[in-house]
């Protein structure tokens, strides 16, 4: 094999690049997960993660993927045959629906075009029509990773309330938590689902359920089979800093460090950074003469940008060209969008120069792959970034 100098650019929308500080924190001897040192760390993590979800209620942490967190949200609150209302915002909303059906739940899917987030009005109208309250839960993906569209969670909560419907509200934040503003308590979410490998800047391996009082109470009547994913033993042991089964100790070390980093930067600054990078990326796409997949500017994602390929050109060939020539990975189009789009991830531990390098790789790749485009995308992005530079830096330049 030929050595490739420099670092690989992992610019998919998750897993994201793991910061050195987190890697160093994970590179520790595994300790007794029933001992006092672990207990102190676990209490710190279980408290700190609530700040990221913006909740005062418990957050349950499992060794597992986001898919496991989907399952935990469903099996702890529902019974076999219950009807769940979901919205087809993209590939991952479709996968959550498939998982629900495999668990024995009935699903109703409000059709979407994969270019918009969930429609709060459509959800509200369906709930108003459900006079018998047959629908037991509404499930929505906040940031659809396959499309780069953000659903208006606060508006959906208002639509549920306006319909006077008692359905539980379950939200997937796997690619939005710690990247895009999210408010579990304020927005009245009952279960928020998340994973470790995106905005939290960790490798895959931890999954999360943030809970409301209503969700915790729903356990009593829920009849879905559950053991590993059950909340009750977790909720009983977590206040003392322990877990009912063996936790992912070293990933929790990393989470402890990641929470420190988020606190030091400040969540609002983290969100602003992601929005700035997203705006710069979209400016580059527009300058290239290409089209952002998400059709509603109000729903543009701060975590990733999905870009439509011109007619007659495949996205996979472009991604292959960029990987082979510039050692950069971009996200593929999934299911309905296969080979039609490429996705630029700009979330997690990510700064202005990383974005400029990413967009430079894309622009060079477009030229090498023979994709019709205009030059100047990187310049357009840099103009956005320079205009948003810290005030003291601009004053010094003047």
Where helices occur in the chain by DSSP H, the ranges are: 20-26, 36-53, 66-75, 91-102, 120-129, 153-162, 213-218, 232-237, 249-265, 267-288, 315-326, 352-368, 377-387, 391-397
Element (H, E) at 62: strand 59-63
CA dihedral 84, 87, 89, 90 (to 10 degrees): 40
* Distance from C-alpha of 17 to C-alpha of 197, rounded to nearest angstrom: 9
Question: Is 343 labelled a binding residue?
Answer: yes
Contact indicator for 229, 26 with CB cutoff of 8 Å: no
- 10 forms beta bridges with 329
Q: What is the phi-psi region of residue 349: left when phi exceeds 0, alpha when psi lies from -120 to 50, beta otherwise?
A: beta
Task: Return the ∠ at Cα 42 (arms to 268 and 68), rounded to 5°.
Answer: 75
Find tokens 């994969």 and name the residue: 114
* Distance from C-alpha of 210 to C-alpha of 189, rounded to nearest angstrom: 9
* Distance from C-alpha of 321 to C-alpha of 359, rounded to nearest angstrom: 14
Two tokens, residue 368? 């090498």
Known binding-site residue numbers for substrate: 343
Known binding-site residue numbers: 343
């Amino acid at each position: 094999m030929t050595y490739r100098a420099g670092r690989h650019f992992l610019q998919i929308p998750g897993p994201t690049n793991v910061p050195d500080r987190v890697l160093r924190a994970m590179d520790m001897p595994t300790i007794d997960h029933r001992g006092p040192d672990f207990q102190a760390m676990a209490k710190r993590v279980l408290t700190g993660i609530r700040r990221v979800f913006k909740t005062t209620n418990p957050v349950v942490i499992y060794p597992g993927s986001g898919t496991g967190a989907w399952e935990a949200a469903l099996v702890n609150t529902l019974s076999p045959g219950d009807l769940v209302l979901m919205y087809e915002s993209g590939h991952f909303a479709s996968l959550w629906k498939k998982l629900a059906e495999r668990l024995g739940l009935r699903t109703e899917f409000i059709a979407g075009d994969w270019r918009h987030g969930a429609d709060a009005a459509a959800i509200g109208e369906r709930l108003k029509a459900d006079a018998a309250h047959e629908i037991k839960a509404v499930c929505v993906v906040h940031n659809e990773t396959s499309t780069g569209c953000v659903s208006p969670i606060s508006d959906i909560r208002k639509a549920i309330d306006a319909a006077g419907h008692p359905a539980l509200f379950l939200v997937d934040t796997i690619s939005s938590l710690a990247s895009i503003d999210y408010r579990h308590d304020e927005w009245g979410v009952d279960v928020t689902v998340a994973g470790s490998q995106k905005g939290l800047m960790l490798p895959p391996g931890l999954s999360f359920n943030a809970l409301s009082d209503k969700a915790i109470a729903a356990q009593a009547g829920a009849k879905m089979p559950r053991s590993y994913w059950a909340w009750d033993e977790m909720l009983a042991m977590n206040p003392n800093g322990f877990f009912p089964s063996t936790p992912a100790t070293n990933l929790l070390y990393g989470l402890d460090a990641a929470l420190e980093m988020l606190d030091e930067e400040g969540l609002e600054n983290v969100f602003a950074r992601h929005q700035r990078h997203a705006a710069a990326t979209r400016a580059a796409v527009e300058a290239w003469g290409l089209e952002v997949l998400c059709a509603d500017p109000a729903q543009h994602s701060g975590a990733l940008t999905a870009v439509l390929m011109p007619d007659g050109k495949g996205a996979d060939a472009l991604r292959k060209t960029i990987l082979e020539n510039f050692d950069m990975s971009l996200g593929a189009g999934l299911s309905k969008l296969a080979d039609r789009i490429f996705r630029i991830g700009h979330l997690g531990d990510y700064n202005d120069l990383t974005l400029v390098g990413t967009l430079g790789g894309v622009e060079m790749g477009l030229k090498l792959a023979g994709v019709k485009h205009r030059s100047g995308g990187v310049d357009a992005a840099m103009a956005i970034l320079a205009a948003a530079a810290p005030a003291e830096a601009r004053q010094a330049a003047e």
